[in-house]
């Protein structure tokens, strides 16, 4: 068939707009989006026809058939237009703080407060007692000070921002002493020392990779020293012949020379994680008690809140930090602040089981066994003879550059299909309406129940059903 003859069979935009399903769509979602989808649908069909013709291969499709394909494609496009790019996924990887999957899921209390604060006006920077301008950090100051034992606090966009701002305000043009063993790289190949250098402070590295002594710091001190800095090596672990200098020792040195001590904790835990069977992780409270003048940490790592960089410490230093112009560039928004206040209140009322990250880290073997059984049984019903479903013992990870090497025994459901390999299954599930992200081990696709909610278990089954 001639090219033109084939292309002439393509439906016109006007023809499709008269089709019933398209008319229904226009009523629901408006003419603009639907006409757009119809145009794109016809364009796509034209392009694929032209490609086939070039390869000398022509499908003989009649006008009615062509129209049907165009309508179906347009319906799918409207569906795509309506769905979001940034959307919910199911984390079946077992990595609790998965940075690529948005780190900490928020507690219900935080979500409710976001809705309440952001759907209308709020007293974000308004003092209701005085009827005058207020400070946005005022809403969380008392809470954070009470929980951590610090004198004062402020919050910015994230912890990298908190470190940058603190060094800019307290050490620009001066020297900051840091141990060589603490020059760490965090996710996405960002290096803490590079972020620090942006502040205009000069990093003076002391000690060796594995050992740094308090005398190393002392030898480096001069009249230009602004800070003694400790960075918690939260994403890797030293074993064997190593030592670092404790905050207490740095504090004693700082007092002798009149130099403040700062600790970047990274993860920022507010509770002793040993009670969840995890390796010890220094808490913010301990760091303050040990004498740190400034402590910075993330809101969305082990704390289990929204992305934020929290700075706590001595009032006089925080006043200097708050006055720095970068404060304005890094400032926290009202959505985050409302979520953070709600999460901190859960810590104060010791309602830790309301915080998803804590709940997942402390999930009992019995609960995981129960969830795995339920998931396996439901999956078996949709998979039937097409494959096998099995519960296995495995380990999940904390993730988010926190608690390296911590092994959390878990239950996972292993799914293998006769006709589809694990890679192919993983890809299909990634592309499902609600994507399910699992992990592959020994040629099987695993769904780790530690990071899945009640709701997720049901949705995951539905999604597996949809891709079979």
Residues that bind ligand PLP (CB under 6 A): 158-160, 163, 184, 186, 192, 231-232, 234-235, 264, 266-267, 298, 309, 401
How far apart are the C-alpha atoms of 97 and 155, rounded to whole Å? 21
204 and 177 Cβ atoms separated by less than 8 Å: yes
The DSSP H or E segment spanning 67 is helix 63-82
Least separation in angstroms between CB 15 and ligand PLP: 53
Least separation in angstroms between CB 54 and ligand PLP: 50
Our CB check for ligand PLP shows the closer of 232 and 363 to be 232
Our CB check for ligand PLP shows the closer of 184 and 460 to be 184
Give the DSSP letter of residue 420. S
> Tokens for 246?
């404790």
DSSP states along 180-221 = GGG--EETTTEEHHHHHHTTTPEEEEES-SSB--HHHHHHH-
Our CB check for ligand PLP shows the closer of 117 and 310 to be 310
Our CB check for ligand PLP shows the closer of 191 and 274 to be 191
How far apart are the C-alpha atoms of 215 and 230, rounded to whole Å? 15
Give the DSSP letter of residue 452. -
Least separation in angstroms between CB 332 and ligand PLP: 12
Least separation in angstroms between CB 186 and ligand PLP: 5
Least separation in angstroms between CB 20 and ligand PLP: 51
Which single residue brings its beta carbon nearest to ligand PLP?
266
Helix axes 20-29, 31-54, angle to 10 degrees: 130
Least separation in angstroms between CB 101 and ligand PLP: 14
How far apart are the C-alpha atoms of 75 and 98, rounded to whole Å? 34
Our CB check for ligand PLP shows the closer of 186 and 467 to be 186
Our CB check for ligand PLP shows the closer of 234 and 420 to be 234
DSSP states along 31-65 = HHHHHHHHHHHHHHHHHHHHHHHHTT------HHH
Least separation in angstroms between CB 310 and ligand PLP: 9
How far apart are the C-alpha atoms of 305 and 303, rounded to whole Å? 6
Our CB check for ligand PLP shows the closer of 269 and 376 to be 269
Least separation in angstroms between CB 411 and ligand PLP: 29
Our CB check for ligand PLP shows the closer of 404 and 435 to be 404
Residue 395 neighbours by CB under 8 Å, 6+ apart: 94, 407, 408, 409, 410
Nearest to 260 by CA among 321, 171, 195: 171
Partners of residue 331 on adjacent β-strands? 156
């Amino acid at each position: 068939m001639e090219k033109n003859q084939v292309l002439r069979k393509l439906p016109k935009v006007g023809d499709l707009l008269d089709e019933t399903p398209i008319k229904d769509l226009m009523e629901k979602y408006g003419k603009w989006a639907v006409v757009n989808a119809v145009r794109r649908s016809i364009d796509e069909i034209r392009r694929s026809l032209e490609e086939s013709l070039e390869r000398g291969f022509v499908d003989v499709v009649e006008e009615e058939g062509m129209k049907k394909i165009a309508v179906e494609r347009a319906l799918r496009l409207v569906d795509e237009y309506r769905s979001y790019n940034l959307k919910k996924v199911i984390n079946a990887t077992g990595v609790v703080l998965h940075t690529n999957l948005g780190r900490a899921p928020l507690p219900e209390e935080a979500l409710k407060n976001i809705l309440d604060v952001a759907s209308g006006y709020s007293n974000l920077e308004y003092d209701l007692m005085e009827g005058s301008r207020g400070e946005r950090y005022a809403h969380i100051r008392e809470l954070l000070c009470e929980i951590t034992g610090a004198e004062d606090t402020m919050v910015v966009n994230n912890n990298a921002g908190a470190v940058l701002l603190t060094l800019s305000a307290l050490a620009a043009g001066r020297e900051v002493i840091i141990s060589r063993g603490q020059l760490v790289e965090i996710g996405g190949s960002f290096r803490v020392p590079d972020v620090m250098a942006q502040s205009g402070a000069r990093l003076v590295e002391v000690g060796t990779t594995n050992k740094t002594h308090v005398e190393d710091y002392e030898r480096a001190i001069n009249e230009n020293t602004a800070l003694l800095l400790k960075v918690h090596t939260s994403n890797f672990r030293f074993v064997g012949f190593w030592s670092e200098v404790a905050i207490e020792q740095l504090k004693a040195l700082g007092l002798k020379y009149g130099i403040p001590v700062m600790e970047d904790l990274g993860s920022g835990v507010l509770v002793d994680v040993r009670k969840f069977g995890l390796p010890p992780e220094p808490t913010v409270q301990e760091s303050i008690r040990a004498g740190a003048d400034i402590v910075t940490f993330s809101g969305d790592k082990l704390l289990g809140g929204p992305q934020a960089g929290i700075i706590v410490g001595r009032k006089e230093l925080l006043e200097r930090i708050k006055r720095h112009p970068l404060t304005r560039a890094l400032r926290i928004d009202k959505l985050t602040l409302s979520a953070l206040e709600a999460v901190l209140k859960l810590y104060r009322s010791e309602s830790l089981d309301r915080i998803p990250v804590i709940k997942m880290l402390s999930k009992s073997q019995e609960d995981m066994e129960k969830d795995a059984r339920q998931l396996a049984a439901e999956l078996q019903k949709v998979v039937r003879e097409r494959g096998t479903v099995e519960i296995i013992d495995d380990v999940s990870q904390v993730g988010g550059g926190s608690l390296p090497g911590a092994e959390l025994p878990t239950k996972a459901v292993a799914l293998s299909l006769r006709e589809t390999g694990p890679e192919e299954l993983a890809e299909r599930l990634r592309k499902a309406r609600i994507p399910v992200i699992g992990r592959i081990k020994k040629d099987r696709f695993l769904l780790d129940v530690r990071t899945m909610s009640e709701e997720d278990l049901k949705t995951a089954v539905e999604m597996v059903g949809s891709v079979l």
